[in-house]
């Protein structure tokens, strides 16, 4: 290993000619920043850290990625490991490079799809055939790629940089501790290589697989490598003859073809030996050649010539030009009996198809400016990727494609990262508690706080795609009953709710009873409801007695809000405000305001069923107040003179009637408290008609703020929700309805 740093001249000299002077200038500046930032750091191998950055940049330039991506490759570790900030990268290299670095930094590793998917997969693996198994693995790879792209919300180049990083780490894995080697190799084989294949970078896939095999099955690897070595001389000679013979035959037919042997990859030999149970010699008997020709029509002409000279082996012909593989791989495959009576596999494709086979999506970058036709190729590649990821709209460019992928699923899901970098998908609106229960039931029970992207956030934080979530747990204890309170919005998923209920049910009856009673009393007190008949209430809810109702409350089978709803339905709004605020002019229980006859009991006529907005009239009935009819109701139009005297003019009341209620909030004073309160009310659509804030500075510990508000609520249910949410604002000690107006 080199102990000195690779210099900038060496890096620039290694860049393909394709890169312009302008490109080289960007690469040079990125190198300078990276080498200063990593100046004192070393790799496990003992060589300067910058050599890793240069190696990654080299892999990217072999793929002809753009200069800003190579710069990102050079800088891929600076944000995490040095003092350099994203801000600085943005200022010096622009938004594209900085967003690539940001993406690579956030995506610590290519994630596995959530633990649970993984578990499901492992469950019955034993029962599956090899074909089913590999199909599942493929789907998992596709799912990983899809979710990774969604979660990163960035372009696919982030993944290519991540792959380049991993490739160099694999190349230098021998310097790592043995137990770590196996873990990293397995991860590479299971996640990184399939993703490389998925985006069609064959070159990378092969190398990642071979390197992984070396660390996972070292004996097998060495055996195959030795076998290859032993046969190399004979084989090379043999292949040279075959290549010459083919080239001659084609030249005779007027076809220009580049003929090459196909490199044998150790992992693919290993797989054939294991999977098809063949010996090494049997596999080596199969020779393969690749013919690169000018265009598509020549591919088929070439095929014709090969088939006319040597006997095709039935069942071995595949036309991947007419029907490309899902990663856009195109080629003709056939096998013939060669003159030595051993099979010869032949692949025929154009140079461009070959570029795609080796570099996949990365092949585009080389050709970006070269020609329009090649851009069309890239578009068709993207459209294939779209298809395989099941995106419907064909007429999209790359940005729209990513955007659509987001919107498609983002309506329902968020994708967040575990501390290890695994991806978990949750329904939109999920909170840290939902996340905790998804990871593990026990983590859910013991969840007490959460760090989102390194910052402490409240438990009602709504998770966003791309968030990295760390759950802070207590050693023991269980979920709080508040978690089930929908007004507070701490739990979104049914799965978490169910687990919380199960836990609560396991608690002793007396405990649940006491908790339930306390919850309800507290809520009644808060809402200023004194005279509730608990016996009646329990009966209405179909419990034998109040105690049973309390137990149900305590274990989460019954919610406080259901009780408040019930009471709210029964109590007239006047009851709500009676004890608190003076009646306001607008307050009325009536859906219709009967002019001149305030407070008259009204009911809707069954004959014409008036709905708000219809012109209406009231008809005074004996003892029942007034019946409201549509003005054009036949019964009204036909009414006798006598009856007409009993008609009164009425009008619809305000659609959303509200009632003023005084509330009192006690809190440790803090900056922005009033602002949070008014935002909360604003979100609920609740008006404040009066505010009075007093801060008590005499308190020894902290300033206590006493806030009195008059708010306009629709009903008890809304009042209850608002008070609950207020109590969940940080620093708020108590929020309740005050008795004295
Ligand atoms: Mn790295």
- Which candidate, 473, 470, 239, 212, places its Cα nearest to that of 342? 239
- 591: three-class secondary structure by DSSP: coil
590 pLDDT above the threshold of 70: no
- Which two structure tokens, joined as six digits, stand for 161? 């940089």
**pLDDT (0 to 100) of residue 96:** 87
The alpha carbon of residue 738 and the mean position of all alpha carbons in its chain are separated, in whole angstroms, by 44
- Which two structure tokens, joined as six digits, stand for 390? 């099941």
DSSP, residue by residue, 657-725: --EEEEEEEEEE--TTHHHHHHHHHHHHT-EEEEEEEEEETT-SSSPEEEEEEEEEESSHHHHHHHHHH
Q: How far is the CA of 560 from the centre of ligand 1 (A)?
A: 53
Q: Which helix (H) or strand (E) holds 226?
A: helix 218-252
Cα Dmax for the chain = 120
Using a 10 angstrom Cβ sphere, with 0-12 exposed, 13-18 middle and 19 or more buried, the burial of residue 714 is: middle
User: What integer is the mean pLDDT of 422-448?
Assistant: 89
Q: How far is the CA of 104 from the centre of ligand 1 (A)?
A: 9
**pLDDT (0 to 100) of residue 560:** 87
**pLDDT (0 to 100) of residue 281:** 82
- Which candidate, 44, 41, 37, 35, places its Cα nearest to that of 6? 35
**pLDDT (0 to 100) of residue 136:** 57
What Cα–Cα distance (Å) separates residue 459 from each residue in 31, 149, 156, 675? 43, 27, 33, 20
- Given a contact cutoff of 8 angstroms between Cβ atoms, the answer to whether 459 and 490 are in contact is yes
Q: Which of 508-517, 624-633, 652-661 has the highest mean pLDDT?
A: 508-517
- Which two structure tokens, joined as six digits, stand for 152? 């990163």
Q: How far is the CA of 466 from the centre of ligand 1 (A)?
A: 20
**pLDDT (0 to 100) of residue 8:** 93
76 pLDDT above the threshold of 90: yes
Domain 394-496 sits in CATH 3.40.50.300: no
**Residue 418, Ramachandran bin (φ over 0: left; ψ between -120 and 50: alpha; else beta):** beta
> How far is residue 573's CA from residue 571's CA, in Å, rounded to a whole number?
6
- Given a contact cutoff of 8 angstroms between Cβ atoms, the answer to whether 669 and 702 are in contact is yes
Cα distance from N-terminal residue to C-terminal residue, the chain: 82
> How far is residue 350's CA from residue 305's CA, in Å, rounded to a whole number?
16
155 pLDDT above the threshold of 80: no
Q: Look at strands 447-452 and 413-417 and give their pairing.
A: unpaired
Instruction: Enumerate the β-bridge partners of residue 710.
Output: 662, 690
More confident residue, 494 or 161: 161
What Cα–Cα distance (Å) separates residue 206 from each residue in 349, 540, 559? 19, 70, 58
**pLDDT (0 to 100) of residue 384:** 54
Domain 230-359 sits in CATH 3.30.460.10: yes
**pLDDT (0 to 100) of residue 114:** 46
**pLDDT (0 to 100) of residue 407:** 43
Q: How far is the CA of 344 from the centre of ligand 1 (A)?
A: 41
99 pLDDT above the threshold of 90: no
204 pLDDT above the threshold of 50: yes
* pLDDT tens, position by position, 352-404: 888 878 776 666 555 444 444 444 555 555 555 545 444 333 444 444 444 44
Phi, psi (5° rounding) for residue 575?
A: -60, -35
Length of the chain in residues, anyone?
A: 741
Q: Which of 283-292, 428-437, 724-733 has the highest mean pLDDT?
A: 428-437
Domain 659-737 sits in CATH 3.30.70.260: yes
- Which candidate, 207, 104, 187, 197, places its Cα nearest to that of 142? 197
501 pLDDT above the threshold of 50: yes
CATH class entry, domain 9-216: mainly alpha
**pLDDT (0 to 100) of residue 741:** 41
* 203: Cα within 13 Å, side-chain hemisphere: 17
Active-site residue flag, 155 = no
Other beta carbons within 10 angstroms of residue 511's beta carbon come to 13
Confidence of residue 167 (pLDDT cuts 50, 70, 90): very high
Q: How many helices (H) and strands (E) does the chain have?
A: 33, 20
**pLDDT (0 to 100) of residue 138:** 58
Q: How far is the CA of 703 from the centre of ligand 1 (A)?
A: 50
Other beta carbons within 10 angstroms of residue 455's beta carbon come to 8
Confidence of residue 125 (pLDDT cuts 50, 70, 90): very low
**pLDDT (0 to 100) of residue 522:** 87
- Which two structure tokens, joined as six digits, stand for 704? 């206590």
**pLDDT (0 to 100) of residue 618:** 80
Q: How far is the CA of 34 from the centre of ligand 1 (A)?
A: 12
- Which two structure tokens, joined as six digits, stand for 5? 């740093």
**CA dihedral of residues 436, 438, 441, 443 (deg, nearest 10):** -20
Q: How high is the mean pLDDT of the chain?
A: 80
* pLDDT tens, position by position, 661-704: 889 999 888 888 888 888 888 888 888 888 888 887 765 667 88
Which entry of 81, 125, 400, 569 is annotated as an active-site residue?
81
Instruction: Enumerate the β-bridge partners of residue 452.
Output: 455, 469
Which entry of 4, 21, 47, 80 is annotated as an active-site residue?
80
**pLDDT (0 to 100) of residue 323:** 84
- 355: three-class secondary structure by DSSP: helix
Residues near 316 by beta carbon (within 8 Å), at least 6 away in sequence: 333, 334, 335, 345
Q: How far is the CA of 463 from the centre of ligand 1 (A)?
A: 28
Q: How far is the CA of 77 from the centre of ligand 1 (A)?
A: 5
Q: How far is the CA of 234 from the centre of ligand 1 (A)?
A: 41
More confident residue, 641 or 62: 62
Q: How far is the CA of 218 from the centre of ligand 1 (A)?
A: 25
Radius of gyration from C-alpha coordinates of the chain: 36
Q: How far is the CA of 263 from the centre of ligand 1 (A)?
A: 29
**CA dihedral of residues 138, 139, 140, 141 (deg, nearest 10):** 50
Domain positions in the chain are 9-216, 230-359, 394-496, 509-575, 592-652, 659-737
Which residues surround the ion ligand 1 when the cut-off is CB under 5 Å? Answer: 77, 165
Active-site residue flag, 557 = no
Strands in 428-573 per DSSP E? 447-452, 455-457, 469-473
592 pLDDT above the threshold of 90: no
**pLDDT (0 to 100) of residue 403:** 47
> How far is residue 454's CA from residue 451's CA, in Å, rounded to a whole number?
5
Q: How far is the CA of 348 from the centre of ligand 1 (A)?
A: 37
What Cα–Cα distance (Å) separates residue 542 from each residue in 123, 536, 546, 549, 551? 43, 10, 10, 9, 13
User: What integer is the mean pLDDT of 314-331?
Assistant: 84
87 pLDDT above the threshold of 80: yes
Confidence of residue 348 (pLDDT cuts 50, 70, 90): very high
276 pLDDT above the threshold of 60: yes
User: What integer is the mean pLDDT of 6-17?
Assistant: 91
Residue showing tokens 């690469």: 27
Q: How far is the CA of 165 from the centre of ligand 1 (A)?
A: 5
Residue showing tokens 């990293």: 184
Q: Considering the entire predicted model, what is its pTM?
A: 0.54
* pLDDT tens, position by position, 465-478: 778 899 999 888 88
Confidence of residue 599 (pLDDT cuts 50, 70, 90): low
What Cα–Cα distance (Å) separates residue 316 from each residue in 228, 301, 313, 346? 25, 18, 6, 10
Percent of the chain scoring above 70 in pLDDT: 79
Percent of the chain scoring above 90 in pLDDT: 25
Q: How far is the CA of 157 from the centre of ligand 1 (A)?
A: 15
User: What integer is the mean pLDDT of 295-307?
Assistant: 91
What Cα–Cα distance (Å) separates residue 567 from each residue in 104, 563, 672, 717? 55, 6, 35, 9
- Which candidate, 218, 211, 172, places its Cα nearest to that of 193? 211
> How far is residue 58's CA from residue 556's CA, in Å, rounded to a whole number?
59
Q: How far is the CA of 80 from the centre of ligand 1 (A)?
A: 10
Q: How far is the CA of 168 from the centre of ligand 1 (A)?
A: 8
* pLDDT tens, position by position, 726-736: 988 888 888 98
Q: How far is the CA of 37 from the centre of ligand 1 (A)?
A: 14
Q: Which of 194-198, 245-249, 361-365, 421-425 has the highest mean pLDDT?
A: 245-249
412 pLDDT above the threshold of 90: no
> How far is residue 471's CA from residue 435's CA, in Å, rounded to a whole number?
8
- Which two structure tokens, joined as six digits, stand for 709? 């508000």
* pLDDT tens, position by position, 130-149: 666 565 565 555 566 666 66
């Amino acid at each position: 290993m080199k102990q000195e740093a690779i210099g900038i001249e060496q890096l620039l000299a290694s860049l393909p000619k394709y890169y312009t002077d302008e490109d080289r200038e960007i690469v040079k500046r990125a190198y300078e920043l990276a080498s200063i930032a990593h100046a004192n750091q070393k790799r496990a191998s003992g060589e300067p850290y910058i050599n890793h950055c240069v190696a990654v940049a080299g892999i990217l330039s072999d793929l002809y990625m753009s200069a800003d991506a190579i710069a990102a490759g050079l800088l891929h570790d600076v944000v995490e490991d040095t003092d350099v900030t994203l801000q600085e990268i943005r200022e010096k290299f622009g938004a594209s490079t900085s967003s690539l670095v940001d993406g690579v930094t956030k995506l610590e590793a290519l994630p596995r799809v959530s633990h649970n998917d993984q578990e499901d997969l492992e469950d019955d693996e034993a029962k599956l055939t090899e074909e089913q198994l590999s199909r599942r693995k493929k789907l998992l790879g596709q799912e990983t790629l899809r979710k990774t792209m969604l979660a990163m919300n960035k372009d696919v180049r982030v993944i290519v940089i991540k792959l380049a990083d991993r490739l160099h780490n694999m190349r230098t894995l021998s310097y790592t501790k043995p137990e770590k080697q196996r873990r990293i190799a397995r991860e590479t084989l299971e996640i990184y290589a399939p993703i490389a294949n998925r985006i069609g970078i064959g070159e990378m896939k092969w190398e990642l697989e071979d390197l992984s095999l070396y660390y996972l099955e070292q004996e097998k690897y060495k055996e195959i490598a030795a076998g290859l070595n032993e046969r190399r001389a004979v084989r090379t000679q043999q292949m040279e003859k075959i290549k010459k013979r083919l080239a001659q035959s084609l030249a005779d037919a007027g076809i220009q073809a580049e003929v090459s042997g196909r490199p044998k990859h150790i992992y693919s030999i290993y797989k054939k030996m294991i999977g098809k149970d063949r010996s090494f010699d049997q596999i080596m008997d199969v020779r393969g050649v690749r013919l690169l020709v000018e265009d598509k029509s020549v591919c088929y002409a070439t095929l014709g010539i090969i088939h006319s000279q040597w006997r095709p082996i039935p069942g071995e012909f595949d036309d991947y030009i007419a029907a490309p593989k899902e990663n856009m791989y195109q080629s003709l495959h056939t096998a013939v009996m060669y003159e030595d009576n051993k099979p010869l596999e032949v692949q025929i494709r154009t140079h461009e198809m070959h570029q795609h086979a080796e570099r996949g999506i990365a092949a585009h970058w080389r050709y970006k400016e070269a020609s329009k036709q090649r851009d069309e190729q890239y578009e068709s590649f993207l459209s294939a990727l779209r298809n395989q990821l099941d995106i419907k709209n064909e007429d999209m460019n790359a940005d729209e494609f990513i955007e659509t992928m987001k919107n498609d699923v983002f309506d329902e899901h968020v994708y967040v990262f575990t501390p290890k970098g695994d991806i978990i998908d949750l329904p939109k609106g999920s909170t840290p508690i939902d996340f905790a229960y998804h990871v593990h039931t026990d983590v859910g029970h013991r969840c007490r706080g959460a760090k989102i992207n390194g910052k402490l956030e409240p438990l009602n934080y709504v998770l966003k795609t791309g968030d990295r979530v760390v759950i802070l747990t207590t050693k023991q204890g269980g979920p709080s009953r508040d978690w089930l309170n929908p007004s507070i919005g701490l739990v979104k998923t049914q799965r978490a709710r169910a687990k919380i209920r199960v836990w609560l049910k396991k608690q002793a009856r007396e405990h649940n009873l006491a908790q339930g009673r306390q919850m309800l009393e507290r809520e009644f007190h808060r809402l200023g409801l004194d005279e509730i008949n608990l016996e009646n209430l329990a009966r209405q809810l179909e419990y034998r007695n109040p105690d049973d109702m309390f137990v149900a409350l305590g274990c989460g089978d019954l919610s406080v809000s259901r009780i408040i709803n019930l009471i709210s339905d029964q109590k007239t709004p006047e009851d709500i405000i009676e004890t608190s605020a003076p009646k306001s002019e607008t307050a009325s229980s009536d859906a219709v305001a009967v002019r001149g006859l305030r407070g008259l009991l009204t009911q809707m006529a069954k004959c014409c069923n008036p709905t708000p907005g219809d012109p209406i009239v009231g008809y005074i009935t004996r003892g029942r107040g007034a019946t409201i009819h549509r003005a054009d109701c036949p019964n009204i139009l036909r009414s006798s003179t006598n009856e007409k005297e009993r008609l009164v003019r009425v009008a619809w009341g305000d659609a959303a009637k509200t009632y003023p209620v005084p509330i009192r909030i006690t809190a440790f004073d803090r900056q922005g408290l009033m602002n949070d309160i008014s935002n909360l009310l604003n979100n609920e659509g609740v008006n404040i008609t009066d505010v009075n804030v007093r801060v008590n500075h005499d308190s020894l510990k902290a300033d206590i703020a006493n806030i009195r508000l008059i708010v306009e609520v629709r009903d008890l249910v809304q009042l209850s929700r608002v008070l609950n949410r207020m109590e969940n604002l940080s620093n708020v000690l108590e929020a309740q309805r005050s008795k004295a107006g």
